[in-house]
Amino acid sequence: MPPKLGRQIVEGMDIPAEIARLGSRREALAEAKRAIEARAQERFEQE
């Protein structure tokens, strides 16, 4: 039996659309992380 994943597949779920949505979310999170790191670097350089 395969291991259980944190999410269940709902009947009628559009798997390709879900994958695209999660990819977009991942990209947005990566961009936010870069912005936070850039602000932290600016504060570090000012001190």
Q: What is d(CA 22, CA 46) in angstroms, rounded to the nearest whole number?
A: 36
* Pairwise CA distance, residues 27 & 45, whole Å: 27
Q: How sure is the predictor about 39, in pLDDT bands with cuts at 50, 70 and 90? A: very high
pTM over 0.85: no
Residue with tokens 């990209």: 27
What's the mean pLDDT in 17-44? 96
